[in-house]
């Protein structure tokens, strides 16, 4: 059985990848400090609890498990928090990754699939956004991810690393079987927030901006299902195993849904009305963020299975309903 190290494997996307890896015959070894991950999400392989800054522990992991590749999800992801405390993001995201890369060198593991982000692009100059779009992040979170991408370029040139940097748009949905789902504290993602409102776990949902130049006046985002993200990661690993060159790819559907469309989808799936409060725009929120996924589709022979927002929302509603929202 092929072993892979999954940093951040107790988190949202990482845990869904672990389930997908196990189904494909891999053994995922999870490395997570459980700061924002969940022990109960680690079901498909061993858990090593620790921080990426702990070089000794990382060396023990590489010596014991001898992973053939690393899937790197560990990192902080709140844009607003990164603006308030950039040091936290540069230390955890960037320096943590450097520690991991050095441990990989010592452990003779030279393949890494990195969880990057559309936030590396900054304000979109055109839409849909392809991989040729200028990368000019507007917050420390995006900066930290771009620094890592550039570092991976250098490690490839100097040390022969092979990597895939996969730039997510809006990760969404949950395991269709209802075993794992999206569980953040605090929660900032739109779909779970609307689900919470529909379930009565919060009083309302705020729409920040109703005067954008979109059909219904609300911001549009590209919601890509978490299982589709997991599938892309595995396909990227298989390509690297086959000797493919390193790659940087956008992961999205190529379609966008507005805030109002997401709310309507939750109402349709749940059969419940959601109280909406209209609020002013938030600074830095562009009206439209949609991926051009053609390069990923061609390179990985991959396409999103979940393209209808109602299908994505249905998986989220199923998981939250089973777990009574955070009452796992």
Q: Which residues pair with 6 in a beta bridge?
A: 30, 71
Domain that holds residue 16: 2-172+223-251
Tell me if residue 303 falls in helix, strand or coil: coil
Q: Answer yes or no: do 103 and 233 share one domain.
A: yes
Q: Answer yes or no: do 53 and 151 share one domain.
A: yes
Percentage with pLDDT > 90 across the chain? 94
Q: Answer yes or no: do 63 and 153 share one domain.
A: yes
pLDDT value of residue 328: 41
Q: Answer yes or no: do 24 and 98 share one domain.
A: yes
CATH number, domain with residue 247: 3.40.50.720
Helix 259-270 with 309-323: angle, nearest 10 deg: 60
- d(CA 151, CA 157) in angstroms, rounded, equals 10
Parallel/antiparallel/unpaired status of strands 69-72 and 47-49: unpaired
Q: Answer yes or no: do 128 and 198 share one domain.
A: no
Give me 182's structure tokens. Answer: 């999206």
Residues marked as catalytic: 141
Is residue 178 one of the residues assigned to a domain? Answer: no
Condensed to tens digits (0 to 9), the pLDDT of residues 204-256 reads 999 999 999 999 999 999 999 999 999 999 999 999 999 999 999 999 999 99
Please state the domain count of the chain. 2
Give me 151's structure tokens. Answer: 């570092």
Q: Answer yes or no: do 217 and 273 share one domain.
A: yes
pLDDT value of residue 115: 98
Domain boundary (209, 232, 251) is at 251
CB 166 within 8 A of CB 117: no
Is residue 184 one of the residues assigned to a domain? Answer: no
Is residue 160 one of the residues assigned to a domain? Answer: yes
Q: Answer yes or no: do 117 and 229 share one domain.
A: yes
CB 57 within 8 A of CB 96: no
Condensed to tens digits (0 to 9), the pLDDT of residues 119-174 reads 999 999 999 999 999 999 999 999 999 999 999 999 999 999 999 999 999 999 99
Q: Answer yes or no: do 239 and 274 share one domain.
A: no
- d(CA 40, CA 119) in angstroms, rounded, equals 29
Q: Answer yes or no: do 154 and 274 share one domain.
A: no
Tell me if residue 211 falls in helix, strand or coil: coil
Give me 41's structure tokens. Answer: 């999400």
- d(CA 104, CA 95) in angstroms, rounded, equals 14
């Amino acid at each position: 059985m092929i072993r892979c190290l999954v940093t951040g494997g107790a988190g949202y996307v990482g845990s869904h990848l672990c389930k997908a890896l196990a189904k494909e015959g891999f053994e995922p070894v999870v490395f997570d400090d459980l700061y924002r991950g969940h022990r109960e999400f680690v079901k498909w392989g061993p858990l090593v609890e620790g921080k990426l800054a702990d070089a000794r522990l990382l060396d023990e992991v590489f010596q014991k498990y001898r992973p053939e590749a690393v899937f790197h999800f560990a990192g902080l992801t709140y844009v607003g928090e990164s603006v308030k405390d950039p040091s936290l993001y540069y230390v955890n995201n960037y320096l943590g990754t450097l520690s991991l890369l050095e441990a990989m060198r010592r452990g003779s593991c030279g393949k890494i699939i990195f969880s990057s982000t559309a936030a590396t692009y900054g304000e979109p100059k055109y839409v849909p956004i392809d991989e040729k779009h200028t990368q000019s992040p507007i917050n420390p979170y995006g900066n930290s991810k771009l620094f890592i991408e550039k570092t991976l370029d250098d490690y490839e040139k100097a040390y022969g690393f092979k990597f895939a940097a996969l730039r997510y748009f809006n990760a969404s949905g949950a395991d269709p079987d209802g075993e794992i789902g999206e569980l953040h504290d605090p929660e900032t993602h739109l779909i779970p927030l609307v689900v919470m409102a529909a379930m009565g776990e919060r009083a309302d949902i705020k729409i920040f901006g109703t005067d954008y130049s979109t059909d219904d006046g609300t911001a549009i985002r590209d919601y890509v299902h978490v299982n589709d993200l997991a599938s892309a990661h595995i396909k990227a690993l298989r390509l690297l195993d086959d000797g493919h060159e390193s790659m940087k790819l956008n992961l999205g559907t190529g379609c966008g849904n507005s805030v109002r469309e997401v709310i309507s989808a939750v109402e349709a799936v749940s059969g419940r009305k959601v109280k909406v409060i209209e609020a002013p725009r938030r600074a830095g929120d562009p009206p439209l963020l949609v991926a051009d996924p053609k390069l990923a589709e061609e390179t990985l022979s991959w396409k999103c299975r979940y393209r209808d927002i109602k299908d994505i929302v249905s998986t989220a509603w199923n998981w939250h309903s089973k777990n009574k929202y955070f009452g796992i």
